[in-house]
C-alpha cells in the first residue's frame, strides 16, 4: 500500500471517456478548496471547468460540507415511494420559486442523464395516457443530453455513439438556428410538427455545451417553442449544464418569453457536491398521469431518488445562490470573459471566440479537428503544465469556472490560452 495512488488506480480503475491503453496516469487529488484542486505533492490546479461543469461556489465549501454532515447524522437516505422527507420537499418548494411560474411538480432522480430519461418518458407517456400516442422526438443537431440510451438517442450521432447506433430510437434533428438559416429552421420544424407524431422537442437552451459551447439567440428559441406549443408538442429544456448561473442568469430559460413544459437539472444543482437530478413539469403534464386507471401511473424511479444528503446540500447551495454576491460574481466573470473574447477574437489563430455569461470558448482555427485530434491532447497537456485544468472539446478551449474564481486566476487562464495560441 506504499505505492503511489495513481499506480494503484491504474491496476483497478476504468475511467470515463479514457482510452486506458494510452492514457497518462491520472492525477491523484487529495483535497480541494475554492477554485483549486491539490495533488499528492501539494501542487494546486485551477479548476477552470468546474470539475465537469458541476461546481458553483468552490470546492469543499464549509457551508455545503456542514449541511451534508448534519443531514448524514439525521437521515442519510430513505425510500421515496410511499415516504418523504423535509429536504426533498423544501428543495422543491424553494427551487420552484426560481423557476418559470408554470413549473409545478418535481420528479427526482440522480444525475443529468436520468433527468433527461425521465423527461423523455414523461413526454411519451403524456401522449400515450391521452390515447394519442406520439413516437417522435425533435432535437438539435450537435446536441448532447447524456450517455444513457434515451439521452444518447436524442443527442448527435458521433464516434461516441457509433457502437450503439442500432439501439438508438429515431430522432428528427434540426439545425441550430442562426441569423442566416432561421427561417429555414422554422419551416423545417413546422413540417416535422405537421407531418409526424411529435411527442417532444428537447434542447439545451441557448448554449450547446458538449458541441463546443455553441450559442444561439433567445428570440430564435422562443419562436421554435411557440411553434411546438401551437402543435401541442411538449418542449423540454435541458438545463443540466446551463442551470444555476452559467449563462449569466440563474437559468437560460430566464432569457425566454416562451416557457418550456418540462425542465431538467443536475450538475450545479447541488453546488457540485453530490449526484442529484430533477425533472420538473407543468400541472398540465402532471395531470395527464392522474387517473383511476392505474396503468397511467409514471412507472419510473431510482434507488437513490430524492436522496436527503443530496437534497440538503442543494438547499445549502441555494442559500448561497440567493445571496447578492452570487450574481455579483457571475457579472464580474461575465465582464472579464467579454473583454477576453473581444481581445482574443482578433488573434490570427482564432476561428471564433464565443461567450455567454460565465462561459467563454475559443475555437482554434486548425483545419478539421475532433475530440480525438492530437491538438486537443497537446492543448490539455499544455494547460496542465501551467497547473490549469482546461479540457478542450476538440479544437475548442473553453473556461467555465466556479464563481469564486478570482480575477487573478481568470487572468492566468486567459494568459495560458493566449500563450498556447502564440506557440
Ligand X SMILES: *Cc1c(COP(=O)(O)O)cnc(C)c1O
Which region among 60-68, 139-147, 214-222, 331-339 touches ligand X (by CB under 6 A)?
139-147
Which of 145, 192, 246, 337: binder of ligand X (CB under 6 A)? 145
Q: Which of 238, 254, 261, 409 is catalytic?
A: 238
Nearest CB to ligand X, comparing residues 112 and 248: 112
Report the run of H or E that residue 168 belongs to, with start and end: none
In the list 71, 103, 111, 334, the residue contacting ligand X (rule: CB under 6 A) is 111
Residue with cell 444555476: 244
Q: Are 37 and 59 in contact (CB under 8 A)?
A: yes
Q: Is 267 marked active-site?
A: yes
- Is residue 154 helix, strand or coil? coil
Query: 3-state DSSP call for residue 173?
Result: strand
Alpha carbon separation from 346 to 204, 212, 333, 355, 379 (Å, rounded): 28, 19, 21, 15, 20
Q: Choose the stretch contacting ligand X; rule: CB under 6 A; options: 91-99, 236-244, 328-336, 355-363.
A: 236-244
Give the nearest distance from C-beta 213 to ligand X in angstroms. 11
Give me the half-sphere count of Cα atoms (radius 13 Å) on the Cβ side of residue 172: 19
Catalytic (active site) residue 238: yes
Exposure string of 92-102, with b = 16+ CB inside 10 Å and e = fewer, is beebeeebbee
Q: Which stretch binds ligand X (CB under 6 A): 234-242, 285-293, 305-313, 405-413?
A: 234-242
Residue 204, interface with ligand X (CB under 6 A)?
Answer: yes
Q: With CB under 6 A as the contact rule, which of the stretches 68-76, 101-109, 144-152, 299-307 interacts with ligand X?
A: 144-152
284 is catalytic: no
**Is residue 108 annotated as a catalytic residue, yes or no?**
no
> Whole-angstrom Cα distance, residue 402 to residue 47?
8
Min dist CB 116 to ligand X, Å, is: 5
240 scored as a contact of ligand X (CB under 6 A): yes
Intra-chain end-to-end CA distance of the chain, in Å: 41
Site residues (vs ligand X, CB under 6 A): 111-113, 116, 144-146, 204, 209, 238, 240-241, 266
Show which residues are catalytic: 17, 144, 238, 267
Amino acid at each position: 500500500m506504499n505505492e503511489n495512488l495513481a499506480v494503484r488506480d491504474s491496476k483497478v480503475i476504468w475511467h470515463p471517456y479514457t482510452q486506458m491503453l494510452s492514457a497518462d496516469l491520472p492525477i491523484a487529488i487529495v483535497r480541494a478548496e475554492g477554485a483549486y484542486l491539490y495533488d499528492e505533492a501539494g501542487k494546486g490546479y485551477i479548476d477552470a471547468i468546474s470539475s465537469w461543469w458541476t461546481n458553483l461556489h468552490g470546492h469543499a465549501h464549509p457551508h455545503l460540507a456542514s449541511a451534508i454532515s448534519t443531514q448524514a447524522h439525521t437521515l442519510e437516505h430513505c425510500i421515496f415511494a410511499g415516504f418523504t422527507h423535509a429536504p426533498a420537499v423544501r428543495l422543491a418548494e424553494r427551487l420552484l420559486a426560481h423557476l418559470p411560474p408554470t413549473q409545478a411538480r418535481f420528479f427526482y432522480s440522480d444525475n443529468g442523464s436520468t433527468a433527461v430519461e425521465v423527461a423523455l418518458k414523461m413526454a411519451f407517456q403524456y401522449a400515450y395516457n391521452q390515447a394519442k400516442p406520439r413516437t417522435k422526438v425533435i432535437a438539435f443537431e450537435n446536441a448532447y443530453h447524456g450517455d444513457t440510451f434515451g439521452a444518447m438517442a436524442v443527442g448527435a450521432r458521433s464516434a461516441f455513439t457509433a457502437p450503439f447506433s442500432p439501439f438508438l430510437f429515431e430522432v428528427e434533428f434540426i439545425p441550430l438556428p442562426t441569423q442566416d438559416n432561421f427561417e429555414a429552421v422554422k419551416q423545417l420544424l413546422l413540417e416535422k410538427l405537421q407531418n409526424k407524431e411529435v411527442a417532444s422537442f428537447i434542447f439545451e437552451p441557448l448554449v450547446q455545451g458538449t458541441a463546443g459551447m455553441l450559442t444561439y439567440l433567445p428570440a430564435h428559441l422562443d419562436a421554435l417553442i411557440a411553434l411546438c406549443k401551437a402543435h401541442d408538442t411538449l418542449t423540454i429544456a435541458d438545463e443540466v449544464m446551463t442551470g444555476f448561473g452559467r449563462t449569466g442568469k440563474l437559468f437560460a430559460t430566464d432569457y425566454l418569453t416562451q416557457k418550456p413544459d418540462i425542465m431538467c437539472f443536475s450538475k450545479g444543482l447541488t453546488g457540485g457536491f453530490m449526484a442529484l437530478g430533477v425533472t420538473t413539469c407543468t400541472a398540465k403534464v402532471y395531470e395527464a398521469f392522474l387517473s383511476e386507471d392505474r396503468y397511467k401511473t409514471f412507472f419510473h424511479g431510482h434507488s437513490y431518488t430524492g436522496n436527503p444528503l443530496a437534497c440538503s446540500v442543494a438547499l445549502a447551495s441555494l442559500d448561497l445562490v440567493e445571496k447578492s454576491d452570487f450574481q455579483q460574481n457571475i457579472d464580474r466573470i461575465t465582464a472579464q470573459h467579454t473583454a477576453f473574447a473581444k481581445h482574443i477574437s482578433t488573434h490570427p489563430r482564432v476561428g471564433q471566440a464565443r461567450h455567454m455569461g460565465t462561459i467563454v470558448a475559443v475555437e482554434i482555427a486548425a483545419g478539421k479537428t475532433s475530440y480525438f485530434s492530437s491538438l486537443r491532447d497537446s492543448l490539455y497537456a499544455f494547460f496542465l503544465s501551467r497547473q490549469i485544468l482546461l479540457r478542450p472539446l476538440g479544437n475548442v478551449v473553453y473556461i467555465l469556472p466556479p464563481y469564486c474564481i478570482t480575477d487573478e486566476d481568470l487572468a492566468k487562464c486567459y494568459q495560458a490560452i493566449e500563450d498556447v495560441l502564440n506557440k
